[in-house]
Amino acid sequence: MDTIVLATNNKGKIKELSAMLEPFGVTVKALSEFPEIGEIPETGDTFKENAFIKARAVAEITGLVAVADDSGIEIDALDGRPGVYSARYAGEECNDHANNELMLAEMKDVPEEQRTGRYRCVMAASAPNGEEIDTDGAYEIRVGHGYKGDGGFGYDVIVIDPEFGCHVAELDAEVKNKRSHRGKAMQKLLKLWPEFWEKAQR
């Protein structure tokens, strides 16, 4: 069975992407299985730059094809913030709860019609021989006024899927995978995968 490395330690992402790659007979290893890699600094100004920084570093060190994504949330009323800083929105040592609290506080007086935004994701695959592909996806959301649901991760507990009218954390995992920014980017990646994989083996 073919093995790739998913350049993340986020259990939620690993579970989502493993399920999507299963039909291709691909085993997904997590970054945690390669402790020698250590922390990869995300120094890019865009999601695409950060995704490739991670994918290239992991492919080079492991000698395996690496898939990385960089994703975040862009809120229109906050001029597109927090964007690439979504994971450390409330500071370098923050966690999901601190990030969510800050966003709810910043959005406190924003009227309903202006609470729009989107999750955005860029996914990159890099092979040790230099072959690369990248795709992107977006998931339109609205910022809610509090917490609901216990699924998903990150900002899912405070943002609403306008079409379903519920918090993203309340959606069934399979439904979320199809609608999410990461799911959309992954679906595009899967379409390119057979050709990429063939070239990656040369």
Q: Which residues are catalytic?
A: 70
Q: Quick count: other Cβ atoms within 10 Å of Cβ 101?
A: 15
Between CA 170 and CA 33 the distance in angstroms is: 31
Which residues, 6 or more positions from 111, have their beta carbon under 8 angstroms from its beta carbon?
none
In DSSP terms, 68 is beta-bridged to 124
Q: How far is CA 99 from the centre of its chain?
A: 16
Sequence-ordered alpha helix ranges (H) in 95-180: 96-106, 173-179
- Distant-in-sequence, close-in-space partners of 168: CB < 8 Å, separation ≥ 6: 141, 149, 151, 152, 155, 156, 157, 159, 160, 161, 176, 180
